[in-house]
């Protein structure tokens, strides 16, 4: 039996778990063939005190890789495209071209877009990427997975309450995606929890599910990349619109288990390998 294929275009670090290092392994555990393309290649993630070394790839490099796949008849058959951190405008424009080529070869390919731009009020990509995401990338996405700050950037509105988060999802649906998951929202006055909000629109009607998770007193990296990958995996297993709440529960359960392993190990890099059981079979403790 052939497995569903994913083309995952994200960052890569030699050490640690962000970008493709955070997404590929969980997808493979859950039964996907994953072909990773790296948008940047860094020694480690950019939050380390000693800095980082490496390179940001440009659009011509992505095009060359995809040309190689095309020359060997390997562009056909992808079920999903997943994108995460992209470090240059030329690379993001090239992603748009890749999507068009993939859809010409496989019209049913579904695009999962994690519009990685920043967090906590801080932008960590070139500012010019925002307009490209908002005006050109988001309309092509089937599923959009911003964090709260990225949802604010894409909609041009503040999210200070659950009602405003729900309204932001509706605004993002209007741009094209049938499914929007705001993966982490820290609301004022709720210091002990993070909100995940999933929204599915079919025709003119939308349905939304909220999941509240305990907020841990530690900063982690790679969790958004992991969340987007798990959403893809579980939406493939539970594909009906009314099952999105169940998807959210399973993603949240796996994420909490990974973070629990990470805290127990006293690490800042997330413990993916140690969390294999919970990635395969999450135990839901926080329902929607």
Spatial distance between the Cα atoms of 203 and 183, rounded to a whole number of angstroms: 23
Q: Quick check: 184 and 148 in contact, CB under 8 A?
A: yes
Are 7 and 84 in contact by the 8 Å Cβ rule? The answer is no
The H or E element containing residue 251 is helix 244-264
Q: What stretches of 76-222 show up as alpha helix (H) in DSSP? A: 89-105, 129-132, 148-155, 162-174
Output DSSP code: residue 133.
I
As a whole number of Å, the end-to-end CA separation of the chain is 34
- Dist. CA 234–CA 229, nearest whole Å: 9
CA distance 113 to 133: 10
Our answer to whether residue 225 is catalytic in this structure is: yes
Residue 23 contacts residue 8 (beta carbons within 8 Å): yes
Looking at residue 274, the DSSP 8-state letter turns out to be G
- Identified catalytic residue from 119, 191, 219, 225: 225
Report DSSP letters for 19-72, one per residue: THHHHHHHHHHTT-EEEEEEEEEESS-TTSTT---EEE--HHHHHHHHHHHHHT
> Any idea which residue has 């405003």 for tokens?
164
| 3-state DSSP assignment of residue 136 | helix
Contacts of residue 255, defined as CB under 8 A and 6 or more positions apart, other chains included, come to 213, 223, 226, 227, 230
Q: For residues 83 and 121, is the Cβ–Cβ distance under 8 A?
A: no
Catalytic residue list: 225
């Amino acid at each position: 039996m052939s497995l569903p294929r994913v083309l995952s275009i994200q960052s890569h670090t030699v050490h640690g778990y962000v970008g493709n290092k955070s997404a590929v392994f969980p997808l493979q555990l859950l039964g996907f063939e994953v072909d990773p393309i790296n948008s940047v290649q860094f020694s480690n993630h950019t939050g380390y005190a000693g800095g980082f070394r490496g390179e940001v790839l440009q659009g011509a490099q992505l095009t060359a890789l995809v040309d190689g796949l095309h020359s060997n008849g390997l562009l056909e058959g992808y079920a999903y495209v997943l994108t995460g951190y992209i470090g240059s405008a030329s690379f993001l424009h090239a992603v748009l071209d890749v999507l068009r080529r993939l859809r010409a070869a496989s019209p049913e390919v579904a695009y999962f877009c994690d519009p990685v731009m920043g967090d906590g009020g801080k932008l960590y990509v070139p500012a010019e990427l925002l307009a490209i995401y908002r005006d050109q990338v988001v309309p092509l996405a089937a599923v959009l997975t911003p964090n709260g700050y990225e949802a604010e950037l894409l909609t041009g509105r503040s999210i200070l309450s659950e009602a405003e988060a729900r309204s932001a999802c509706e605004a993002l649906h209007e741009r094209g995606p049938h499914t929007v998951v705001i993966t982490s929202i820290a609301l004022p006055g709720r210091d002990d929890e993070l909100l995940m909000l999933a929204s599915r629109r079919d025709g003119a009607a939308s349905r939304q599910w909220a999941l509240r998770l305990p907020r841990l007193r530690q900063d982690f990296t790679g969790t958004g990349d992991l969340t987007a990958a798990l959403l893809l995996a579980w939406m493939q297993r539970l594909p009906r619109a009314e099952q999105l709440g169940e998807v959210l529960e399973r993603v949240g359960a796996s994420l909490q288990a990974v973070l629990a392993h990470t805290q127990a190990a006293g690490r800042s890099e997330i413990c993916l390998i140690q969390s294999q059981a919970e990635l395969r079979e999450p135990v839901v403790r926080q329902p929607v």
